[in-house]
Structure 1
Amino acid sequence: MKYLSCLYVLISVGVLGVSASAQPNIIYINADDLGVMDVGFNNSAYRTPNLDRLRAEGMLFTAAYAPAANCAPSRACVFSGQYAPRHGIYTVGSAARGHASYRKLIPIKNRVYLNREVLTLSEVLREGGYKTIHLGKWHLGEDPTLQGFDINVGGYGLGSPKGGYFIPVKGEVATYNDRYSPGTHIADIFADQAVTFIKANKADRFFMHMAYYLIHTPIQAVPGLVEKYGDAKDRRAAYASMIEKMDESIGKILEELDAQGLRERTLVLFSSDNGAHSALSSQKPYRSGKGSYFEGGIREPLVVRWPGKVKTGSRCDVPVMGIDFFPTFLEAADIPVPEGKVLDGVSLMPLLTESGHFPERALFWHFPIYLQAYAGKADDSHDPLFRTRPGSALRKGKWKFHEYFEEGDLELYDLNHDPGERHNVARLYPEKTAELHAEIKHWRETLQAPVPSEPNPEYQAEVAKKALLEARE
């Protein structure tokens, strides 16, 4: 049973001598489907002046990774602080994606929502004395207030905004239809509600999860911004305008922190949940995009600002992952990890403060499922039929290792010389390949990660082969 005892609360705010004034406010800004190359500070053509400011005033992580290549599993990993095999969310919806005759194995069954028994980051922070608010995309259950948030603005079980981005809309955000004029963008509503919350809680400690639906589909041009990038009917121009709209919204939150004198005592972390939709935004030099476990699908922008703790304009090249946010926020707030809570992540505080020890480690991904390729869209992933097939992956030092369960294929890439993962050097480095293979198998055994092995009776080898050849033509 999930519970937080009174003893835990007393320890967190009493015995340790932590005062409210010593604990920072925490704002976690999470973009949706925003690729690592989709921000101005990474030399993209997209205009993100407020994010560029945040980067200039904080630390940029150049090797930051999402815990999964699409929405729900990535978010579940962040809020549980755990790798996917522990909570069982591997994808969105069914694990059996793509044509049945192309799937050689029966995939592992996918859990759709985060089990309510899983202790979440928001629950721990709330029990530690934080006022908590969720704004935007949740995707881990029907109601964020059942998983640690005092206030929910627009979050529900699905991954995209009902009715699109402009008032009037449907679903959770529809409660604001009568309060905002037609055509108002929901990112402006979220910013407005965030500002209201900051004003009301400026004397308290608060945790804000600003989880934009942007830049997820539907791709809808933003009037007044899209003209900078091209015709409103051009999906790439519309995509660019959506990025800038999100940046505008973030700017309003940063401005309110300044206006309320909260800048110095607020930790702001900005990141994304996975890579970009490859048909809309190239992530070169990285390969592929959302849904793929090549670098373009899991690399994410990551910036942390915390005045007085994190040096302005600093940079960290150590590989890190979204599962690290949970322990990082707890250490920043001086809240202990609850007894019995297993965290796979590691606090980033030694990296942020450039002091103390940060362990050398491998980062892991496990995806015992199928995820089909976008219809009619070449996304440069594993093959033209699937963005990913069942397998696992590992990043350790300069090495990236992939294992695929259908045929037992092993791939090894030297990211220092081949960030695009084009040249499989597994045969050139058999000892390193064997070493990493053994490490990933040990990791799976430790977490009891399920590996699909049952043949799919609907699989048709010749049909799949023909479809693959035709797709490659």
Structure 2
Amino acid sequence: MNKLLNLNLWRGYLAVALFAMAALSCTNHTKPNKETIAKKPNVVIILADDLGWGDVGFNGCTDIPTPNLDALASDGVIFTSGYASHSYCGPSRSGLLTGKYQARFGCGNNLSKDLDGPQGLPTNETFISNVLKEDGYNTCAIGKWHLGDSIQFWPTQRGFDDWYGFTGGARNYWGQSWDKKSLPWHLIRRNGEPVPLEEQGYLTDDFTNEAINYIDDYTKSDKPFFMYLAYNAPHAPIQATKEYLNKTEHIENGKRAAYGGLVVGMDEGIGKVIAKLKEAGEYENTLFFFYSDNGGHGSGTRQEPYRGRKGNLFEGGIRVPFLMTWPAGLKGGKQYHKPIVAYDIFTTILGATQINYSKSADLDGTNLLPYVKGKVNNEPHDKIFWRYSDGLGYAVRKGDYKLVKEEVRQELFLFNMKTDSLEQFNLAAAMPEKLNELKADYTEWNKGNINNLWPDAHPEHVYKEKAIRERAIKAACGGENKKPNQY
């Protein structure tokens, strides 16, 4: 009898324990609880490609709908003076993922298709993915890479457990390659293996679906994850589905409407990724960054009110849509107006995850969390530098002033960014001492840099743009000194 009683008691205890375990398992991936929020945050970097400053609603865009990005921004902090680390694609990504000025390790220009032998970001440089993986994170890279095509430079060799995307700088959105020479750059690969064309659709949707599937797989693990979701939208070629183009059919300018379709596709994809994170109970404890690798490419993009575009160092080439959101760790609904730069993402991730990185002193970024929380009131950076083509063009932002050497204009510019953020009034002649001060700052900083590891194709584009500009100006004033009978 006692044995039976003991057995029944044991069964009762077991039932209670199993019920408790079942109840716990039901809540693990529904909504965040105290235990979920207490663990290290997931980290998601979403990168747009050639997106103009004025092409998102949270920066005032009214014609291209970006409701999902706008909602993400309202939950976080909008950086109104957020800068890319470079004015074009590959170097910008080098700075982002290493947290360092890319000129320090020779990656200040895009890879060249015309050179034999391997090219890529030096393998002795540490990526944020390396650091997070070593700390126990699951890591994945999805989308455009543009940091090396040979195997030793692939994401799977740079701290990413999983990879879906292509290694080049641009590609067709419908799975077609432009030419045989570029084929390796354009192949869609999953962990290095080519993905058959029949398994591909519209590229932006493919990247979104891959991210959603990864989140589904992640919920089976107790480890936090890091996702680098690098859309190649809205980079050329300008290709979008009819579904997305229907959302921009009210735009009369054809180039703007077509370009807007790419932005809509990316925004809707981001909305699906966020919805999946909410469904999995992971949204609250995910640290998001969204920004563009550089300014808009000019075909339907809008950098206004800023001067310039992708490829130059006026504000339109480097000031980009930029936000940070972390619902569990950061109060939303804010704007931060002091200059910050993409290098800060690496250092801010270290702060949020409380990782003690042994090489943190070698980074060029700043942990932004104390600044956006109002605990630190000074400027995140005393100076910010940019350089392309080994100094053919460069810029310095120091306090209220900005120095620009832009090859497309072949002159030095000095602007007071506090009173002239649109860069309309050149103070170089009026303030020679300030001009020389910033030139000396650049010269001193540049001593720690090296020449680029491969030739830069960018000057060709600069000179072409310069020639087009000069022809237009000359044509506009060509009749000024002619007599009436000469027309």
Matched, 1:365 2:386: yes
Q: 2:319 aligns with which of 289, 295, 299?
A: 299
What runs of 5+ residues in structure 1 fail to find an aligned partner?
Answer: 1-18, 97-110, 370-388, 452-458
Matched, 1:171 2:187: yes
Matched, 1:150 2:171: no
Cα distance between partner residues in 2 of 1:276 and 1:256: 29
Cα distance between partner residues in 2 of 1:220 and 1:141: 25
Whether contact under 8 Å (1:226, 1:232) holds in the other structure is: no
Give the drift of 1:229: 2.5
Task: Give the match for residue 246 of structure 1.
Answer: 266
Matched, 1:282 2:312: no
Task: Give the match for residue 67 of structure 1.
Answer: 85
Task: Give the match for residue 134 of structure 1.
Answer: 141
Residue aligned with 1:264, SS: coil
Change (3 A) 1:427 1:83: same
Q: Once the two structures are superposed, what CA deviation does each residue of 1:387-433 show, in whole Å capped at 9, x if it has no partner?
A: xx813211122211123689994310122332232221112222222
Task: Give the match for residue 378 of structure 1.
Answer: none
Whether contact under 8 Å (2:44, 2:288) holds in the other structure is: yes
Q: Which has the larger radius of gyration?
A: 2
Matched, 1:200 2:217: yes
Change (3 A) 1:469 1:50: closer
Give the drift of 1:92: 1.7
Change (3 A) 1:352 1:199: farther
Q: 1:32 aligns with which of 26, 29, 49?
A: 49
Q: 1:217 aligns with which of 236, 243, 259?
A: 236
Q: Once the two structures are superposed, what CA deviation does each residue of 1:1-26 show, in whole Å capped at 9, x if it has no partner?
A: xxxxxxxxxxxxxxxxxx99531000
Q: Once the two structures are superposed, what CA deviation does each residue of 1:184-220 show, in whole Å capped at 9, x if it has no partner?
A: 3222222222112112213321000000010111111
Cα distance between partner residues in 1 of 2:443 and 2:38: 46
Cα distance between partner residues in 2 of 1:324 and 1:43: 24
Task: Give the match for residue 432 of structure 1.
Answer: 434
Residue aligned with 1:419, SS: coil
Cα distance between partner residues in 1 of 2:214 and 2:409: 53
Cα distance between partner residues in 2 of 1:65 and 1:149: 26
Q: Once the two structures are superposed, what CA deviation does each residue of 1:94-145 show, in whole Å capped at 9, x if it has no partner?
A: 599xxxxxxxxxxxxxx95211111111111111111000000011123210
Q: What pairs up with 1:66-465 in 2 under 5 angstroms?
A: 66-93=84-111, 112-142=119-149, 143-156=154-167, 158-161=168-171, 164-166=172-174, 171-172=187-188, 175=195, 177-179=197-199, 184-202=201-219, 203-230=222-249, 234-339=254-359, 342-356=362-376, 359-369=380-390, 390-403=392-405, 409-445=411-447, 447-450=448-451
Larger displacement relative to structure 2 (426-435 or 265-274): 426-435
Q: TM-score, normalised by structure 2?
A: 0.76
Give the drift of 1:93: 3.6
Q: State, as a whole percentage, how many aligned pairs show the same letter.
A: 36
Cα distance between partner residues in 2 of 1:469 and 1:357: 44
Cα distance between partner residues in 1 of 2:235 and 2:206: 17
Q: 1:41 aligns with which of 58, 67, 74?
A: 58
Cα distance between partner residues in 1 of 2:312 and 2:407: 15
Q: TM-score, normalised by structure 1?
A: 0.79
More helix by share: 2
Change (3 A) 1:465 1:250: closer
Give the drift of 1:332: 1.0
Residue aligned with 1:263, SS: coil
Cα distance between partner residues in 2 of 1:406 and 1:59: 34
